[in-house]
Amino acid sequence: MEKHRVLTGITTTGTPHLGNYVGAIRPSVRASRDKDIESFFFLADYHAIIKATDPEKIRQSSKEIATTWLALGLDTDNSVFYRQSDIPEILELTWILTCNTAKGLMNRAHAYKASVQANQEANEDPDFGVTMGLFSYPVLMAADILMFRAHDIPVGRDQIQHVEMARDIAQRFNHHFGEVFTLPSAVVDDNVAILQGLDGRKMSKSYNNTIPLFETEKKLRKSLNKIKTNLLEPGDPKDVDDSTVFQIWEAFATPAQVDDMREKFAAGIGWGDAKKELFELINAELAPARERYNQLMAEPEFVEDELRKGGERARATASELLDKVRHAIGISPLT
């Protein structure tokens, strides 16, 4: 029987932070080890160039993200780990899908609509700064997904619409040309925590409130000390529900450790002590991977090699599907 296929992409802008780790990387690394599923993870570098224009930043981010996943133990035998740009078939499929995608569908995409709205609010031309890349972003994402006939697409809430568009595009194609594509579904795991950042809002690069994943021990301690707390003194009972320290604790602790910390809050643990315990907990989980990360960053040959091998495997699958697609639309050898 064909295995269940899970696929997700990571846009290569920015440095991985604790929120990425808890929300996406840790669950994916676990999934990569599951023998019952076939998983595909890739660096979405062609998505990165939609917004980011600094080549050095894209290069650095690709390196950091790939190294992070491998340092954390991604199983690259049991999963396919690759770079989107190493699979030219994805771009070929993107064009074919572009020709089968209603412009009206793309008009409804959130990322594009948000740019238009911001322009309108600023009294600018609605298309100011809007590239065709931004406009067609969901078609590229549909090609990523449909190329590997993935069933489940684990994503954050902001990406659900894009996966639904991929499904619409697949349906329309299948309707015209026969059953070529598998229909994908977005999977949002409600058990995975959306980590709060330093200021209590969702941890996100755009809020500038992140805690980088693999900074030095000293810096990690310093970052954790910056988490916003209230003014309650040691000895005052504290509420776990409005505490970012507690929320992050929950994302790393065992159930017994969660209970233990809840009691300490009630008993009035000081913020300094709570943060110290939080540091110990997080550091214990991350320290071995951090060491591996630093080694791999210094000798990127291993990471590059893994990406190349993954790319070859991904291409084998991709070219097979692309042949079917081309045949279906009437582009094929004469004899």
* Closest CB to ligand TRP: residue number: 9
Token pair, residue 83, equals 């770079």
**Nearest approach, Cβ of 281 to ligand TRP (angstroms)?**
28
Q: Smallest Cα–Cα separation from 156: which of 40, 28, 49?
A: 28
- Given CA atoms 126, 128, 131, 137 in this order, what sign does their dihedral have? negative
Taking the complex as a whole, the smallest distance from the CB of residue 84 to ligand TRP amounts, in Å, to: 7
Rounded to whole angstroms, what are the CA distances from 44 to 74, 95, 99, 163, 289? Answer: 17, 17, 22, 15, 23
In contact, 199 and 228? CB cutoff 8 Å: yes
Per-position DSSP letters for 176-214, written without gaps between them: HH-S-SPPPEEE--TTS---B-TTSSBP-GGGT---BTT
C-alpha to C-alpha distance for 243 and 253, rounded to whole angstroms: 15
Q: Is 20 a known ligand-binding residue?
A: yes
Q: How far apart are CA 139 and CA 104, in angstroms?
A: 13
Q: State in angstroms the smallest separation of the CB of 161 from ligand TRP.
A: 11
Pick between residue 40 and residue 252 the one whose CB is nearest to ligand TRP. 40
Q: What is the CA radius of gyration of the chain?
A: 22
CB of 224 or CB of 322, closer to ligand TRP: 322
Q: Are the C-beta atoms of 215 and 282 separated by less than 8 Å?
A: no
H or E segment at 290? Answer: helix 271-298
Decide whether 44 or 220 has the Cβ nearer to ligand TRP.
44
Q: Among candidates 220, 193, 189, which has minimal Cα distance to 286?
A: 220
Q: Is 144 in the site for ligand TRP (CB under 6 A)?
A: yes
Least Å distance, CB 172 to ligand TRP, is: 18
The pattern of x and - marking residues 9 through 48 that bind ligand TRP according to CB under 6 A reads x-x--------------------------------x--x-
Residues 149-188 that bind ligand TRP (CB under 6 A): 153, 155, 159
Which of 71, 72, 96, 141: binder of ligand TRP (CB under 6 A)? 141
Query: Which residue, 8 or 32, has its beta carbon nearer to ligand TRP?
Result: 8
Residue (185 or 230) nearer to ligand TRP, CB: 185
Minimal distance in Å, beta carbon 134 to ligand TRP?
12
Q: Angle 51-71-309 (CA atoms, 0-180°, nearest 5)?
A: 75
Q: Residue 67 interacts with ligand TRP (CB under 6 A)?
A: no
- Whether residue 12 is annotated as binding a ligand: the answer is yes
Q: Which residues are within 8 A (CB) of 225 and not within 5 positions of it... i.e. 6 or more apart? A: 275
CB of 47 or CB of 149, closer to ligand TRP:
47
The least distance separating ligand TRP from the CB of residue 144, rounded to whole angstroms, comes to 4
93: nearest Cα among 153, 149, 155: 149
Binding-site sequence positions:
11-13, 19-20, 144, 156-158, 195, 202-206
Binding-site sequence positions for ATP:
11-13, 19-20, 156-158, 195, 202-206
Binding-site sequence positions for L-tryptophan:
144
Residues that bind ligand TRP (CB under 6 A): 7-9, 11, 44, 47, 141, 144-145, 153, 155, 159
